[in-house]
Amino acid sequence: MRRIFLGLAAALSGMMIAGHAARAEPTHALAMHGDPALEAGFKHFPYVNPDAPKGGRIDYAVQGTFNSLNPFIVQGDGARGLFDQDFGVNTFDSLMMRSRDEPFTLYPLLAETVETDDDRSFVEFTLDARATFSDGKPVTPDDVIFTMELFRDKARPLYQNWIKTVDRMEQVGDRGVRFTFNERADRESPMLLALLPILPRHATDAENFDKSTLDPLPGSGPYIVDSVRPGEYVSLKRRPDYWAKDIPSKIGFDNYDEIRINYIRDENTMFESFKKGNTDIQIERDSGRWATGYDFPAVADGRVVKEAFVSRLPSGMYGFVLNTRRDVFKDRAVRAALADLFDFEWANKNLFSGAYTRTKSYFDGSALASTGVPADDREKALLAPFPDAVLPEIMAGTWTPSKSDGSGRDREFLKNGLDALAAAGYTLEGGKMLDPNGQPLAFEILLNGPSGQALATAWQRTLGRLGIAVTIRSVDSAQYLKRQQTYDYDSMLVRYISSLSPGGEQVGRWGTASRDLPGTYNFAGVSEPSIDAVIDALVQARGQDDFDSAVRALDRLLLSGYYVVPLYHQPEQWLGRWAHIKHPETTPIYGYQLPTWWRQD
């Protein structure tokens, strides 16, 4: 159906091309709505330090392991840092580069200009004549077409879906490549193609591309893979001959001589590694540790800096996903009752020092959130064919998550849950919650190592008081990833990242097209015509009002479906860094940007 993008893609509403919405002509940027913020000839992005010094090494840490240097396929656990939004698009350049200070705008990288029409029936990229791969060979239109065909046939389903919107690919002149779209495409399609990595035909093993490998794939990015210790680290070395180091889109980026991604089994060990100085950055999500854990000597004497950054993004959704492929979660009323039995007030006070805010929307904290806002006429029109899909209180904007007194012994809180299950046909007999067929209500929470253990135990304890049997299973990262990719779980913790421009990636999370494909983000197993229709509306929307209404309608559908038990979000981005790691003064709307930081001993 539509495209799926793990974080890097977003929706497109009323996209205009550098101010020329009604005609096709080459331009320097693609914007979501209106004009790009930066005109042709801009010097650099506003959130970088153009004079950042080059040199030194950065050590990052990630939880888990890896067994492949190909991050674009289903097979294997792909290494981080090669092509991701956190640590940088380091080894593979894409046709265009996204500005993190605009909701969704792309600027030149491999392509120096782009052309499309108002209907987005085609897109044409003209490659920069200077663009080369790491072996010195030029990037050609043939390489672009080769990559698109390879990804269409052998990459992850998300990439395949993006490229299946293309009816025809053709070279135009010496440096141009044109994609003509089919009826499956929408207004986001040109931008998604622009964000794909480009591989060299002459140095890529197309036949075995879909098999995991520890042989580095060649690319045109600022770094090459220098050394690998499987499961432990990947080391990247900066290319002194990187072709794009002086173009405006890359000024202020790629400042380290070496980037090392260290793989560590669990979060506590990661923090201990950071305290010892073995890693340079600690991206913090543990409120207790943030409140009390940074009392070691290096913080006291200023060698480690503890910082909070404010982004202007929606909160996203962090919660226990309920896999509706399992019989136990097929009934929405049961999912709702279980969700309402998570005691956030107790958990926030006792586990997290009161640091978190309860999440009430998949787009909390932004104009895209539906909570507190009654559905407008556009939303009502979108949802009219599906009269039972949205609960009345969610349609009215009056819904809020269940709330306890925080004591952990709130009888009214438990009674509300019991009444909800009774209304769904369940009975409490002999200390066990039984379904209408007399079978116990029971399920398993799958965890990635010890992470999330306290949360799962808190929910388990509350549910246990109503005779609901919950088991908690903690597995290693490799097994967790395998079970996640094959949807072999009842419930697990998932963090859904939201942007100001949600779009085709929503198909991969909630669309019918992704439900039965392995390796997608449709962890809940959602397949609902109402959700498919609203996602289609938001990616096809041209005006801002239509787009906002479509996103709020999607929010209402997801909240009404109770596919996820809403937990909480951080009011800020928390991060610890050793003082020799510096960053620009300006924080863009997407928050801190690690690829713009540098080392200064």
The residue-averaged pLDDT of 472-490 equals: 95
Domain count, the chain: 1
Q: Does 505 fall in a domain? A: yes
pLDDT at 22: 40
Q: Which band of pLDDT confidence, cut at 50, 70 and 90, is reported for residue 1? A: very low
AA identity, residue 527: S
pLDDT at 9 over 90: no
- Burial bucket for residue 63 (CB in 10 Å: 0-12, 13-18, 19+): middle
**CATH number assigned to the domain comprising residue 506:** 3.10.105.10
CB 302 within 8 A of CB 389: no
Residue 597 maps to a domain: no
pLDDT digits (tens, 9 = 90+) for 104-132: 899 999 999 999 998 889 999 999 999 99
Residues 6+ apart with CB under 8 A from 91: 82, 83, 216, 217, 219, 221, 223, 224, 225, 236
Distant-in-sequence contacts of 481-486, Cβ < 8 A, 24+ apart: 481/64, 481/77, 483/446, 484/523, 485/74, 485/518, 485/519, 486/518
Strand partners, 278: none
Which pLDDT does position 317 carry in this prediction?
Answer: 97
Residue 43 has pLDDT above 60, yes or no: yes
| Interatomic CA distance for residues 125 and 198, integer angstroms | 13
pLDDT of residue 540: 84
Task: Identify the pLDDT of residue 16.
Answer: 33
pLDDT digits (tens, 9 = 90+) for 366-419: 889 999 999 999 999 999 999 999 999 999 999 999 999 999 999 999 999 999
The one-letter code for the residue type at 409 is: R
Q: Does residue 330 lie within any of the structural domains?
A: yes
* pLDDT value, residue 338: 98
Average the pLDDT over each of 170-179, 279-288, 425-434, 482-491 and give the range with the smallest value. 279-288
pTM value is 0.73
Average pLDDT, the chain: 92
pLDDT number for residue 17 = 33
Q: Is residue 378 one of the residues assigned to a domain?
A: yes
pLDDT band, residue 187 (cuts 50/70/90)? confident
DSSP 486: T
Query: Is 482 domain-assigned?
Result: yes
Q: Is the pLDDT of residue 508 over 90?
A: yes
Looking at per-residue confidence, does 291 or 248 come out higher? 248
| pLDDT at residue 52 is higher than 60 | yes
Q: Is residue 449 part of a domain?
A: yes
Place of tokens 């506003």: 46
- Structural domain boundaries, residue 519: 317-569
Asked whether residue 286 is assigned to any structural domain, the reply reads no
Distance of alpha carbon 403 from alpha carbon 432, whole angstroms: 24
Cα–Cα distance, 106 to 172 (Å, whole number): 22
Is 302 part of a structural domain of the chain?
A: no
Looking at the DSSP bridge assignments, the partners of residue 233 are: 229, 262
CA atoms of 565 and 453, how far apart (whole Å): 16
Residue indicated by tokens 């509403």: 13
Amino acid symbol at 227? S
